[in-house]
Amino acid sequence: MKKLIMILLFITLLVGCWNSHEIDDSLFVIGAGINRSDGDLIFSTESIKPTSAGTSPQGQTKDNVILQIRSKSMLNAGRQFIRYAKRRLIFTHCRTWIIGEELAKEEFVKQLDILRRHEMLRLNSYLFITPGDPLAILENPSLYDDLSSMEIISAINQTEYNAEYPVINLREFYRLLEEETRNAHLPIITTRRVDESTVTSLEGTAIINNNRMVGKLTINESVGLNILLNKAKGGSLTVELGEDEEENWATVNVKDCYAKIKPRLEGNKVKVDIQVNVVGLLGEYVTNDEVSEDFILQVEEKASEVTKELVHNTIKKLQQLETDAMKLGVYMHRKYPKEWQKLKDNWNEYFKEADVSVRVEHDVRDPGLLMNNLQQKQENEPDRSLYSIF
**For position 1, what pLDDT does the model report?**
62
Q: Does residue 4 lie in a domain region?
A: no
pLDDT tens-place string over residues 317-337? 999 999 999 999 999 999 999
Give me the mean pLDDT over the 101-106 stretch. Answer: 93
CB atoms within 10 A of CB 337: 9
Structural domain tally of the chain?
Answer: 2
- Most confident range (mean pLDDT) of 16-25, 90-99, 144-153 is 90-99
Are 301 and 213 in the same domain?
A: no
Are 199 and 242 in the same domain?
A: no
Give me the mean pLDDT over the 279-300 stretch. Answer: 86
pLDDT band, very low/low/confident/very high, at 85 (cuts 50, 70, 90): confident
Reference 221, options 304, 302, 325; nearest CA is 325
The DSSP-derived string for 31-61 is: EEEEEEETTEEEEEEEEE-S----B-TTS-B
- Most confident range (mean pLDDT) of 20-24, 151-155, 348-352 is 348-352
Q: Does residue 15 lie in a domain region?
A: no
Lowest mean pLDDT among 83-87, 134-138, 192-196, 243-247: 243-247
Q: 200 - beta bridge partners? A: 191
pLDDT tens-place string over residues 23-58? 556 888 899 999 998 888 999 999 888 764 444 444
Are 110 and 133 in the same domain?
A: yes
Residue type, 285: Y
pLDDT over 60 at 16, yes or no: no
Reference 137, options 155, 121, 123, 124; nearest CA is 155
Are 27 and 129 in the same domain?
A: yes
Q: What are phi and psi of 249, to 5 degrees?
A: -150, 165
The percent of residues in the chain predicted with pLDDT above 70, rounded, is: 83
Q: Does residue 380 lie in a domain region?
A: yes
**For position 149, what pLDDT does the model report?**
86
Does residue 343 sit in helix, strand or coil?
A: helix
Q: What angle do CA 279, 282, 288 make, to 5 degrees?
A: 145
State the maximum Cα–Cα separation within the chain, in Å, rounded to a whole number: 112
pLDDT band, very low/low/confident/very high, at 365 (cuts 50, 70, 90): confident
**For position 335, what pLDDT does the model report?**
94
Give me the mean pLDDT over the 344-361 stretch. Answer: 94
Q: Does residue 225 lie in a domain region?
A: no
Give me the mean pLDDT over the 381-390 stretch. Answer: 46
Rounded CA separation 76/87 (Å): 15
CB of 140 within 8 A of CB of 132?
Answer: no
CB of 89 within 8 A of CB of 63?
Answer: no
Does residue 255 sit in helix, strand or coil?
A: strand
Q: What angle do CA 117, 120, 124 make, to 5 degrees?
A: 85
Strands, DSSP E only, in the chain?
26-37, 40-48, 64-71, 88-90, 96-100, 126-130, 183-194, 197-209, 212-217, 235-240, 249-266, 269-286, 355-366
Q: Does residue 180 lie in a domain region?
A: yes
pLDDT tens-place string over residues 220-241? 999 999 999 999 988 899 898 8
Q: Does residue 13 lie in a domain region?
A: no
Q: Does residue 381 lie in a domain region?
A: yes
Are 141 and 285 in the same domain?
A: no
**For position 53, what pLDDT does the model report?**
43
- Cα of 137 vs its chain's centroid, Å: 16
CB of 48 within 8 A of CB of 28?
Answer: yes
pLDDT tens-place string over residues 144-163? 767 888 888 888 878 778 88
CB of 205 within 8 A of CB of 130?
Answer: no
Q: What is the pTM of this model?
A: 0.84
Rounded CA separation 294/388 (Å): 35
Mean of the per-residue pLDDT values of the chain:
84
pLDDT over 50 at 18, yes or no: no
Tell me the CATH number at 390.
Answer: 3.30.300.210
Of 160, 195, 217, the one marking the end of a domain is 217
**For position 334, what pLDDT does the model report?**
94
Are 179 and 93 in the same domain?
A: yes
pLDDT over 80 at 3, yes or no: no
Q: Does residue 3 lie in a domain region?
A: no
Q: Write out the residue range of the structural domain in which residue 268 sits.
A: 230-390
- Most confident range (mean pLDDT) of 147-156, 342-351, 378-387 is 342-351
**For position 118, what pLDDT does the model report?**
80
DSSP 275: E
Are 212 and 235 in the same domain?
A: no
- Cα of 196 vs its chain's centroid, Å: 26
Rounded CA separation 253/276 (Å): 16
pLDDT tens-place string over residues 205-223? 999 999 999 999 999 999 9
The DSSP-derived string for 186-214 is: EEEEEEEEETTEEEEEEEEEEEEETTEEE
Are 107 and 200 in the same domain?
A: yes
Are 27 and 71 in the same domain?
A: yes
